[in-house]
Structure 1
Amino acid sequence: MYYFDHCASTPPHEEVIRTMAEVMAKHYANPSSLHRSGQEAGKLLERARGAIASLFPGTDAKEWIFTSSATESNNIAIMGAARSRKKRGNHLITTVVEHPSVYDTFQALEREGFQVTYLPVDSFGVVAVSDLEAALTDETVLVSVMHVNNEVGAIQPIAEIGKLLKRHRSVLFHVDGVQSVGKLTVDLTGWGIDMFSASAHKVNGPRGVGLLYVRQGVTLEPLLRGGSQEHGLRPGTENVPAIVASAKAFRLAVESGAARAERMYKLKARLIACIQAIPELHINGSTDCKLGSYAAPHILHFSYPGMKPEVIIHMLEKQEIMASTKSACSSKSEEPSRVLLAMQASYESAVSGIRISFGDEHGEAELDWLCRKVRLVVQQLKPLERKG
């Protein structure tokens, strides 16, 4: 089997699995307990928190919160910030291409009475900083823009946005960094980011652990009640084994990030050449394959207009290729991709998108195998296209 769905989840490193098993076997006490076993578990928890902070220069361990997922991190950051600052203003800004855990959260806040501006994107899926600047008002209290789009891999100008918002001190800046950690440089303090979300299972770590950076001085209204864990923002007993293993996964990902990006861009260029040679397919987003571009190194999205994506996915699966369509959270929906429509794609392209996302286990041989199988599947599907 060839697994090309890393944006949905990644295979955990063997070292991460071993760490989680060892901690689970030895440190099963509640880290909030006062006895020795509890205190030992608590020390492991704080050591993991410190390890995370060390990966992001300028941040402090106290600024990092462990959650159950990036979806929860996004909800805590966005809802917590908006509700805590409602007396200062009720205007929020995000983009039309955010992950459902962000986009749907803003829609929920609209139902609470907040005014939300959804910024458009260009044909590559990138937002214009000038549009954001024009949308700012005296009532704006929060801006949330993802770093890397989870469908097409578009990289947003986070550094430029942060520079702009530094001139608007009353506006908080949240970034969904799920698809960027371990692939791109992330400079939380230099970019003026107030809140940042990440997920362990997107960097070869275990499921069930999310990160939320909350800059010191930022106050959030908790979504849940019932405990003082994680500074009261995420009450409930922490999953110490998974958190410790996640810290190791994040370390491995960040420390090798530069080399990974360089290698993946080369592989992506190879894949792009293959897809471009198949006339039935159309690549969505930028085809740049270099550092500094607006395209992530590990994601390629293409459409087969006139063909249902689930048909393509199942045909690829018969060839031992595991890929996906939209985000895993909305992949079962038959609606056209909100992201592709925002990029001015045709309806036919927006309902026929396929996402390829790869990782450390892939090399030229695996990408060449994928290319051969994609060509084969397209040849097999062409008669169905003609019948349609």
Structure 2
Amino acid sequence: MIPHVVLTWVTTARGGAENSVAELAGNLARLVPSVDVVWWRQGGPAAGSCAPAHVREVTDWHGYQQALTRACSPPDDRPVVVISSHRTAAADVVLAPNARVIPVVRHVVDADQVLRVISPGDGAMVERTVGTLPWDLLSAVPVWVGISHASSAALRKHAPQARYVSTIHNGVAIPTEPPARTRPEAGRLLIASVARTVPWKRVDHLVRAVADPRLSTAVRLDVFGDSGSHQPELTQLANELAAPVRFLGYADDLPQRLAGYDLLATAAVQEGFGRAVIDAAGVATPSLVPNAGASPELVLDGLTGMVYDPDDPSDLVAALTDALLDRAMLARMGSAARALAEAWYTPGRCAAQYLTLVMGQQPRSLGSFVWISQSLVRVCR
């Protein structure tokens, strides 16, 4: 029997992960007969459209318990698979004992990294390292998902009982037609960065780079993302260095904005995926990323963008200088980046890979295979 699929998500801020969860839900709902999303809003955005999936939005632990219990009780007694996250996995195992729970880890974890997770006892948000998660409960999880090879490798290394880890890169919806690029071949190099201003995003490294005297009069850095705990320090740093930086806040129309830039630059070394890189690729804007975390998986150095040494500030300045001096190179990289995004980082491919895991959690029948085969043809066209 084809299972009922439930996605659970706890959101505390606006970001790329929220968009990825919504897109996954919508595309899975094109493949299987019934998909529910239990969206616990803890200060982050509303769920928005996950159509044709059904959204159950809640704002507290009691609501989450009720919504998940109902979502995991389909009227026809079909099997249930819950696509969870590291935040909700243990709670979901307790609240849905008859479901198969597949947690998705959206970070590159290390042994000492503090993760914020939902306590299965009272629903409180608590801090744990990966080794101190409630593995007595999580040992029942049949398979974990990392959203990049880097994320999966870190989970295998540091999670004591993650028996099987599958890598499924996020899918990102990109414009059907590439936007017209009107950037001049000369003048300031316009650089975008997409990052909430929290320390681990390392936006200060970008600020210092564009403040370099060899670049400061020839480039401009615009940072998109909600203000975080590091915003006051970053603003002060930019002022002290007279850096050509603007902090523009969160943008709902980010892909369209990125079409107006020559380059996207990132600095985080623990990025689990880096959705902005594919958003930029979709509008033919290449990226400059550190050689750490998942970033090198998304950017082919010299072909779809550039990769720099995150431990060498001069390498970042040198890469920005190369970009400034060769706009034709950036245009070629942008075209190749879009072609790669169209070929691999598609929502349909992502949903199809999750579907393979979902169907592996319960006995298959010939009828199920016929339904899935027909659905895959529709969603992957």
Shorter-chain TM range is 0.3 to 0.5
Q: Which has the higher contact order (CA 8 A, sep 6+)?
A: 1
Taking structure 2 as the reference length, what is the TM-score of the superposition? 0.34
Taking structure 1 as the reference length, what is the TM-score of the superposition? 0.34
Q: Identify the structure with the greater strand proportion.
A: 2
Q: Identify the structure with the greater helix proportion.
A: 1
